Structure 1
Amino acid sequence: MDAVDEQPDGQRDDRVLAYTRGLSLFIVPFLLVAFVILYLFPDHTARLWSWHIAVSMTSMVLASAYLGGAYFFLRVARSRHWHEVGTGFLAVTAFASLLGVATLLHWDLFLHDHLAFWLWAGLYFTAPFLVIGAWLANRRYGAPAAAGDVLLRPLERWVVAVVGLLALGTGVVLFLAPGAMNDLWPWPLTPLTGRVIGATFCLGGAGVGVWFDPRWTSVRVMLQVESVMLVLMLIAAVRARDELIGSHALAWPLLLGTLLVLAGSAYLWLTYEHHPRPAPGPRGLDELGRRGRAV
């Protein structure tokens, strides 16, 4: 029997546990410091960071993920409803796990005499277990959709899930075969930086969660996090424009895809945040509830 089903319905009050809030507040300062170093001083990683990142675009993309993560965990700490943030914990677990694996694979490239490295290693060797532990503990209290919840339309739900799958697939390919992607990617990659960028793209896999829970309230925080990250990445592309290789096959598709995702996010926000739709009838809600319990 699924762990969620073992929790009495009366106690599935969608609470966010104190442990989850505490863990979120603990993580935020590390993410903010990393953002400041990598986004504001991308040319000084040999002195300030865990390893020397030669291409500033890579530094700023990773920094964008860190600021998006800081925003996410601040929202978790303030949230009263687990379903609003739960999907993000799976994406963060994947991100942290992949960075932990990348650290082991490229151990000799890290600056072991830097404090930043030991903070990096400590974070990514422990965070996957802490974050997935919070998800496992908290999901038992997740509440299914109820009458009055606003749900995305089927087409919108499908598009968001497909975009999430594309981001996840791109991340997996980058992580497994960074060398093969170097001649396609818009800026130079090394095996280590390719895997780091791949882990960052895997954060987009959070979009797949909308297929299982299409409530607007389950989507809106993820949409905000995504927008923070993508806007920062676009600004980074302008700052690091001399590093970009427009002739590489994925250069323009990635730019166009980023702009389309931001436009779609704006559409969803304007549609559902300010002009909510009523939920479907009881039968649809019952089916969604069953799916939520099975996830």
Structure 2
Amino acid sequence: MTRVPPSPPQPGDDRVRPATRWLAAFVLPFLLIAFALLYLWPERTDRLFAWPIKPPLTAMMLAAGYLGGILFFARTLRGRWHHVAAGFPAVGLFATLLGIATVLHWDRFHPGHVSFIAWAGLYFTTPFLVLAAWWANRGADPGTPDERDLLLPGGWRAVLAAVGALTLATGLLLFLWPAGLIAVWPWTLTPLTARVMGALFTLPGVVGLSLARDGRWSAARVLVQAEVLAFVAILLGVVRGRDAIDFGRPAAWGFVAGMGVMLGLGVLALLILDRRAQRGGTRGGSPA
């Protein structure tokens, strides 16, 4: 029997292009290893990672971002394009900022260490690969809801936009003006770790703005799941690394409260909006 080859991707078919799946498969092992090193042994980064990260709490914050990335890229392997599309601009900006931070603080790294070689290789190439993936898939999104979907209510979109703008602004400020925020940050940062924290803040910032613009719950679900996972890891990291936090600074309580609020909003969205989408919402773009 003659095997019929699979049909090539067509515009608007919502399929993730093969090259993008290969990119996700390539990135995933690095994220898994980095998460394990930084979250399980955050106090040993001077021997295990690309550069020594102090205090361990900062290492766990970066690991939490990687944990969200693991879920995101795993879903990219088997999901529809519009389910993950909003994450690619965020990942592209994050990787670009970390590549720039690496150049600016080259002397802080461990040249020749296998972790540094992997770090530099990823962050000097990933911005271009992610941009190429987004460009290759840009026409795949049909712009319509899933069979069972929900158009986000105006209130939810406003919250996404507001939180996204605030976290993006915070991230860019940390990256561009680290010295100004180091003095008020809840725990000790260096110019390098301040810029890394800034890059992390841009992830939910860009995602929030992108999802507020799109408006489909199906476009948001995977990203919200990834963010909830990351915020859980962040708050557990805060508990583990609480000795490094100066709770005499107002920013400490603001940080913990902010992470808690964002986790709560994510969980509420998954519980409420997912249920509405399954029970009614829209079907194939039409009111249920």
Query: TM-score, normalised on structure 1?
Result: 0.89
Match for residue 216 of structure 2? 215
Percent of aligned pairs with the same amino acid: 45
Contact kept, 8 Å, 1:57 with 1:237, in 2: the verdict is yes
1:267 aligns with 2:268: yes
CA distance in 1, matches of 2:238, 2:197: 14
- Give the corresponding residue for 1:203: 203
CA contact (8 A) 1:76 1:85 kept: yes
Superposition pairs for residues 43-192 of structure 1, below 5 Å? 43-79=43-79, 81-146=80-145, 149-192=149-192
CA contact (8 A) 1:152 1:215 kept: yes
Q: Distance in 1 between matches of 2:132 and 2:21?
A: 13
**Residue pair 1:185, 1:249 contacting (<8 A) in 2 also:** no
TM-score by length of 2: 0.91
The aligned counterpart of 1:7 is none
User: Following the alignment from structure 1 to structure 2, what is the Cα–Cα distance between the partners of residues 213 and 82?
Assistant: 13
Instruction: Look up the SS of the partner of 1:275 in the other structure.
Output: helix
Cα distance in 2 for residues equivalent to 1:199 and 1:55: 18
Distance 2:230 2:86 in 1: 17
Is 1:253 the counterpart of 2:258 in the alignment?
Answer: no
The answer on whether the counterparts of 2:158 and 2:212 sit within 8 Å (CA) in structure 1 is yes
AA partner of residue 33 (structure 2) = V
SS in 2 for 1:28: helix
| CA distance in structure 2 between the partners assigned to 1:262 and 1:72 by the alignment | 17
CA contact (8 A) 1:183 1:248 kept: no
Cα distance in structure 2, aligned partners of 1:125 and 1:278: 42
Matched residue SS, 2:152: coil
What is the DSSP-based 3-state SS (H/G/I as helix, E as strand, rest coil) of the residue aligned with 1:250? helix
3-state SS of 1:38 partner: helix
- Counterpart of 1:6 in structure 2 is none
Q: Tell me how far 1:11 sits from its aligned partner.
A: 2.9
Residue equivalent to 2:30? 30
Which deviations, in whole Å up to 9, do the C-alpha atoms of 1:6-43 show, x marking residues without a partner?
A: xxxx7311111011111001100000000111111111
1:249 shift after superposition? 2.7
Q: Which runs of 4+ in 1 moved over 3 A?
A: 146-149
- AA partner of residue 216 (structure 1): W
The answer on whether the counterparts of 1:93 and 1:127 sit within 8 Å (CA) in structure 2 is yes
Task: Show CA shifts across 1:103-142 (max 9, x none).
Answer: 0000111111311111100100000000111001101111
Distance 1:199 1:147 in 2: 32
**Counterpart amino acid of 2:107?**
D
Tell me, in whole angstroms, the C-alpha distance in 2 between the residues paired with 1:155 and 1:214.
11
Post-superposition Cα deviations, 1:171-196, rounded to whole Å, max 9, x if no partner, equal: 00000111111122111100000000
Write the letter of the residue equivalent to 2:12. Answer: R
- Where in structure 1 are there 5+ consecutive unaligned residues? 1-9, 285-295
Question: Which runs of no fewer than 5 residues in structure 2 stay unpaired?
Answer: 1-9
Equivalent in the alignment of 2:15: 15
The correspondence for 2:281, drawn from 254, 278, 281, is: 278
Q: Which amino acid aligns with 1:126?
A: T
Are the equivalent residues in 2 in contact too, given 1:50–1:111 (CA < 8 A)?
A: yes
Aligned-pair RMSD on alpha carbons? Answer: 1.8
| Equivalent residues of 2:225, 2:270 under 8 A apart | no
Q: 1:188, 1:18 → 2: CA distance?
A: 43
One-letter amino acid matched to 2:120? A
Q: What is residue 194 of structure 1 aligned with on the other side?
A: 194
- SS of the equivalent of 1:212 reads helix
Counterpart residue type for residue 172 of structure 2: V
CA deviation vs aligned residue, 1:164-219 (integer Å, no higher than 9, x gap): 11111110000011111112211110000000010011111211112221111011
